[in-house]
Chain A
Amino acid sequence: MSIQHLTDDELETVLCGEPLPTVREAHLHDCLVCRRRRDAFLEVVEADLADDPDEATLAAIRERALARWQGRPVIHWWRWAAAAAAVVLLALVPVLRALRPAVPAINPEAVMAEVDRALAQDPLASLASEDVVNELMPVAETTGEGSNS
């Protein structure tokens, strides 16, 4: 048996579950000191495992998970459908824009000319009282140095 004890690196290799060279494995097998170093570490880990939950706690966890599983919606199909609809709508936006008829631009002068023509043909237009006309279309007062009043 080699009398050289395992180095820290070799011990950690063993703890990691990796093999050592055959000679060093043989040393570990025969050397009480090295085995104690390895086992001391494993002893602490084992001790930490001893506080696992009892069966009643595990059963309660299991039952709650099963209850939620049974009560689940079969599939969240409506979420997928909503997402698919949103994607389709977004994809259609440019198409719908292209298909929409162009709105003709309003020409104010043409509109006013049309109004003037309509008023000219309206026989009642000349009968409107001056007050009504002034109220609807007040005459701006002239001010300033050019005023004659």
Chain B
Amino acid sequence: MAMPAARPRPLDDMDEGELIARARRGDVAAAAELLSRHDRLVFRTCRRLLPAGEDVEAAAQETLLRALRSLPSYTGAGSFSGWLVAIAANYCRDRLRRRKLVPFQPLEAVHEDDPDPMAVIPAAGPSPERTSMARQAVALLHQELDRLPGRQREVFSLRFFVGLDLEGIATALGVDVGTVKTHLHRAVHRVRAAVEEAMP
């Protein structure tokens, strides 16, 4: 009697290690599933590390492509997401260096190509006054981030927008945890002061 053929396991059931192994062998479906688990993280990283006006979609696409091409060099020593963030951070830094962009934008120009950040604050907040203050705080947050030195901006963004812990940030940026703490404290000090001013 012929044995029934084993049904292939669905990709979304596979763990990350298996997807990576398959993608390394050129399995496009596995690569697509792998990217789909991390593309939001990559987009968010690029968006926060590049100043307003930069093509974030192109940066995210380039980061994903570089990750796919570099898969054979991924040793699995750190988390895959941390490895991706490191690729994104390196790419964004190179891009800024090549274009010699100054990471400062006036308040009026902050992320003007993006959806209005103020629109993301729910209109039905605790009170119209509080909502208005929160909107202003988001704009001030952008303004302060654009004024931060590059490394402080990177560390702040990876901590609060990407959600990495101190060790994760250190790994992604190739620096020690002490350096991360120093930059993060300075960045938080500046940004918090601005945010509290808007939202006392």
Contact = CB atoms under 8 A, between A and B. Distances in A.
A60 B56 CA distance: 13
Interface residues of B, number: 43
B141 A12 contact: no
A37 to B, nearest CB: 7
A137 to B, nearest CB: 68
Interface in A1-50: 8, 11-13, 15-18, 37, 40-41, 43-45, 47-50
A147 interface: no
A85 interface: no
A90 to B, nearest CB: 29
A68 interface: yes
A15 B141 contact: no
Interface string B118-155: 01110000000000001001100110000000000000
B39 A62 contact: yes
Nearest to B115: A51
A58 B42 CA distance: 10
A50 B138 CA distance: 11
B65 to A, nearest CB: 5
Interface of B: 28, 31-32, 35-36, 39-40, 43-44, 57, 60-62, 64-65, 68-69, 114-115, 117, 119-121, 134, 137-138, 141-142, 159-161, 165-166, 181, 184-185, 188-189, 192, 195-196, 198-199
